[in-house]
Amino acid sequence: MKELFRKEIKNVSPYVPGKPIEEVKKEYNIERIDKLASNENPLGPSPKALAAVKGVLDNINIYPDAGSADLRAAIAAFHGLESENIVVGSGGEQILDFIARTFINAGDQAIMAETTFGLYASSIAILGGVPVKVPMKDYKHDFAGFVAQINQHTKIIYVCNPNNPLGNIMTAKEISYLVEHVPQDIVIVFDEAYYEYAKVNPQYPDSLSILRGRPNTVILRTFSKIVGLAGLRVGYALTSKPIVSEMMKIKPVFNVNRIAQTAAIAALSDHQHIKNSVKLNYESLQLMENYFKRKGFEYVPPNANFVFVNVGKHSKIVFEELMKRGTIIRPGFLWGYDNWLRVSTGTLEQTERFIAALEEVLESTIA
């Protein structure tokens, strides 16, 4: 019998999504759920985006602009680049798919951290490419280890900065080391999905200046996190013109819908919402860090809108028990960190409810 499915797909394990809020409410019969599991914006969507969207609803019988010209122009202006430096996607997810499909032939290699965003490896593997995973060093990317893995098959190097799920950054100095040691004909991807949160740290690198001097660089940003449009699916790449031209060839024609394009343009200049979101984020993190310190829990220094913490008990049980009490988090066992949790920041009330629930779970005999 012939094998119908592509062999590369058979080896891919399906993504395990977090449980949807509605399902949890029904299952545990609870009214209120705090979802601190997917790094969404607890302040909600950018109000400017919401207002702009209302104006386009009457026109959704019309296909969106296939080239997303207005959105690309707005992003270009925002970063001091040209539209020919921008590719927009249905979420950063789709940009990662474009990156893999633009560069990877079967047998090509891509280097990444062992504990990082899962899509890098899966997008490479479904094309017959080989993800090369470098073990973490002090919970960070080990760039010397990355450089040691470079060979003639290496096409892409992924840097998740801040890293998901760990939440910490690679500093400008560490990034300079990497850039100096990676040949020009290898693409370096800087995934900066949490850019606005991270850049308050003075050690956070300026990847745009790296792109200006190194054309084989791709910077990924998204509208899902800081501006609160995860449900609309818009992300983008900042890169050199030759890479944009190749990516455009494989882009699905109408990949960013009409509502998403309009909302993203409005959100880009919603400085107040961005400022409020960053402020709330660090207040929420502070509450959690204070609690973790009091308990003596090890946690990774956070520079995004989530924190990775070792609570000393198996995350599968802690996750279940927290869910019964109305808070959904992401259990670390999914990444092989059995006693760790990844917790997104929330409103201060959500954060306090999480801390109280965690305290109850850890102090009870259940967990």
Q: Does 91 engage in binding with ligand PLP (CB under 6 A)? A: yes
x/- mask, ligand PLP, residues 109-148, rule CB under 6 A, reads --------x-------------------------------
Is 36 near ligand PLP (CB under 6 A)?
Answer: no
Judged by beta carbon, residue 139 or residue 317, the one nearer ligand PLP is 139
Residue (115 or 339) nearer to ligand PLP, CB: 115
Q: Which residues of 293-323 are buried (b: 16+ CB within 10 A; e: fewer)?
A: eeeebebbbbbbbbbbbbbebebeebbebbb
191 binds ligand PLP (CB under 6 A): yes
The least distance separating ligand PLP from the CB of residue 235, rounded to whole angstroms, comes to 4
Please say which residue, 93 or 246, places its beta carbon nearer to ligand PLP.
93
Least CB distance from residue 199 to ligand PLP, whole Å?
A: 15
211 binds ligand PLP (CB under 6 A): no
Does 235 engage in binding with ligand PLP (CB under 6 A)? yes
From candidates 46, 102, 164, 351, binder to ligand PLP by CB under 6 A: 164
For the bound state, the minimum distance from the C-beta of residue 249 to ligand PLP, rounded and expressed in Å, comes to 21
Q: Does 345 bind ligand PLP (CB under 6 A)?
A: no
Q: Is 196 in the site for ligand PLP (CB under 6 A)?
A: no
Q: Contact with ligand PLP (CB under 6 A): which of 193, 237, 285, 357?
A: 193
If one asks whether residue 224 binds ligand PLP (CB under 6 A), the answer comes out as: yes
The residue (of 201 and 317) whose beta carbon lies closer to ligand PLP is 201
Length of the chain: 367
Contact residues: ligand PLP, CB under 6 A: 91-93, 117, 160, 164, 191, 193, 222, 224-225, 230, 235
